[in-house]
Chain A
Amino acid sequence: MDICYYPGCTLKTKAKNLNLSTISSLANLDIEAKELSRWNCCGVVPSLASDDLLRLIAPVRNLARAKEEGYSQILTVCSMCYQTLAMANQIMQEDMEKRDIINNFMEEEGDYSGEVKVVHLLGFLRDEVGWDRLKIAVKIPLVGLKVAPYYGCTLIRPRQVGIEPLESLTLFRDFITAIGGIPVDFPSSTECCSSYQVVSNPEISDEVSSGILKSAEEWGADILISSCPLCEYNLGLRKREKKELPTLYFTQILALSLGLDEGSINLELNSDSAINFFKEKFKDVLC
């Protein structure tokens, strides 16, 4: 099968490891991620002001173009793109007044009223691939690897667009189990990574992100996985010099478990602790 894929700007520049591991893993599962032919920035971050139509134009334009190209769903893996697109989609489905204003303004695109479903890769793996099929596809099960799933904020908030309810999180756990690892629940799994605070308050940001990594480590994790370039920056890349818990994108361990090689995950773009950990763990696969 093929699916309309929305990478997002960061996956094309700073987070190529998230992009490539996603595309290669899907290809390995016989799914072609067809990049939307014309797309712009998702509009990140979604505006929380009720009167902020300007910020809706970017995400809705992407969705309208996906509709124009004949797609009924759009797949994204970046947590922030997911949240921004999904929130805009919800407004276009439910708020007739805003929908009309936006459609009237964007007359060069076709009318849009939320017809395209915004899908995150984790939900896609469960619903379209299925955990059983994924289990069969796994060539190098991550036996014994204790993996802490880090949701952060944007995958599950706000509730109306979250990929699953905050109080019964199963997606990451089932994903980790399917590829042969051991999911490690830890209390900071849904805390904020400190987000853009890293720009204005880097010390506070470091304190917050180190706390999250420490929490995962204390609960027994070998590694922490996420699906957000900003979380990976705060928890992983900024810790490049320090020996903290290794962090990876969930698609990178997916690719490795599917037997894909180092060239499919751009491990060199991760932190040193992640690189060292995986060179040791996957020494037969990685060169």
Chain B
Amino acid sequence: MQLVRERADFDQAQRPDTPAVRLEHVSKSFGARQVLDDVSFDVPAGCGFVILGRSGSGKSVTLRHIVGLVRPDSGRVFVHGDEVSTLSGVELSRVRRHIGFLFQNSALFDSISVGENVAFPLRRHTKLSDGEIRAIALDKLEAVGLGREYDKMPAALSGGMRKRAGLARALALDPRLLLVDEPSAGLDPITADEIDTLLADLKGRGRATLVVVTHNIPSAKRLGDWLIMLHGGQIVAEGTPGDLARSSHELVRAFMNSQNAG
């Protein structure tokens, strides 16, 4: 099948020591407000990488740099060895085809059905027949428990269902890198746990590198092999969940032991 072949070609082209994501001294300001200040980190391929921080600490902006939606004022951003911060047009599209992005508010296309949302990347980037595309989209929706919602419009879904549909769309092309922005934001604890379970399964199967932005500590502990914490646009702590819980930084310890800490 075309997707399997493309993924095999992609894996073959990758050097094993190439990090899935690398940020080198990235700084970004919006007007007078500096959001990121000299941020650098590596995300090893296959890793569960969590970016923690309070609201407005630059977490989502970091994620947007990785997919090339935002360009750094200074510094460089690499994805699978390609410098996305300098790419545009066809070259940027080529890199993005291997990235799945689950937006905080799902960002489903509201003029087409849920199934067509999942089918959309397949229609754009493969030469599969309509029947094959429908079968894959249905398969992805079933994997997130939405197999019966194919023909519904996004507006007819609950917040949790929209989030799962967004995840199915992000996984449509079997991406090598999955970026997830606040997977539990606005969801009840049970639905949030369902989303975490789906992401943990994905990580467990080693299918993709996971970069998750969250301020939910139980979620971070479950999904993260390595965590960083942003504060004031800078990385103030990094390590395993255990390392951060024992951090000498007062804010980090307070964050890790906050109310929603599991």
Are both chains from one complex? no
